[in-house]
Amino acid sequence: MIQMIHRKQFFQTETWVDDKLIIVEGPISADALAAMQFDEGLKAFRVPEKQHNALIEIAALPEGRIIIARHEDLVLGYVTFLHPDPLERWSQIPMDDLLELGAIEVSAKIRAGGIAKKMLEVAYTDDAMEDYIVITTEYYWHWDLKGTGLSVWDYRKVMEKVMGSIGMSWTATDDPEICSHPANCLMTRIGKRVPFESVNTFDNMRFSSRFIY
């Protein structure tokens, strides 16, 4: 099997949130990301310092893509794209053209500025994204319900709207972890150039138990 070449093209845009000029850009290189500061409010997944290091490692991967939102050299938001975790169902059959939108986080300092959508918009400005199936697994226990004051269902509506801005849509699966709570969901976007064979392989992973009676 021919190994896929992961093409990446850098894009950048600007927007204002309150009195801050926010630069949204990526895919950012590991070296550029390492030279930046990381906002202390970015702690949804792990403490900021460790999350910063984790993003640097992802940016260095052949398929890894990090889109950031920054004010000067302070990172205030990010989106990650990489191959699914080896321990997840989504990597049980290796697929070069399957990426997971693994994390999206925006500091409370600029959360009202529509930054999440802008980061996804920048990610999909790169035509190479049409070569991939991109998934995101949404689990309610990762959501900042306390910080936003939203209910589980209101937060899910927000996530569906944000992900829907790039054409991701709810996708059925029998994955036990996703099925463990009705608010959890799998969302997917299939690029225009993804071959049928890849779509079929992905469908088999979505319903790995469908032939068990």
Convert the pLDDT of each residue in 22-76 to its tens digit.
999 999 999 999 999 999 999 888 899 999 999 999 999 999 999 999 999 999 9
Sequence letter at residue 67: I
Cα(59)–Cα(53) distance, integer angstroms = 10
**6 in any annotated domain:** no
**79 in any annotated domain:** yes
Which alpha helices (H) appear in 77-180, and where do they start and end? 115-123, 145-148, 152-164, 176-179
**153 in any annotated domain:** yes
Sequence letter at residue 53: N
**211 in any annotated domain:** no
pLDDT attached to residue 196: 96
Element (H, E) at 48: helix 48-59
Assess whether pLDDT exceeds 80 at residue 1. Answer: no
66 bridge partner residues: 80
Supply the mean pLDDT for the chain.
Answer: 92
pLDDT attached to residue 213: 34
Assess whether pLDDT exceeds 60 at residue 212. Answer: no
**2 in any annotated domain:** no
Closest to 5 measured CA to CA, from 110, 128, 103: 128
CATH, residue 28: 3.40.630.30
- For residue range 111-161, what is the model confidence (pLDDT) as tens digits? 878 999 999 999 999 999 999 999 999 988 888 788 788 899 999 998 899
Which contacts qualify for 39-47: CB closer than 8 Å, 24 or more apart?
A: 39/74, 39/75, 39/76, 39/107, 39/109, 41/76, 41/107, 41/108, 41/109, 42/75, 42/76, 42/77, 42/78, 42/105, 42/107, 44/103, 44/105, 44/142, 44/144, 45/103, 45/105, 45/142
Cα(166)–Cα(14) distance, integer angstroms = 19
Tell me how many degrees the CA angle 191-194-197 measures, rounded to the nearest 5: 145
**213 in any annotated domain:** no
- Provide the domain limits for residue 136: 11-206
Q: How many distinct structural domains can be found in the chain? A: 1
pLDDT attached to residue 3: 78
**110 in any annotated domain:** yes
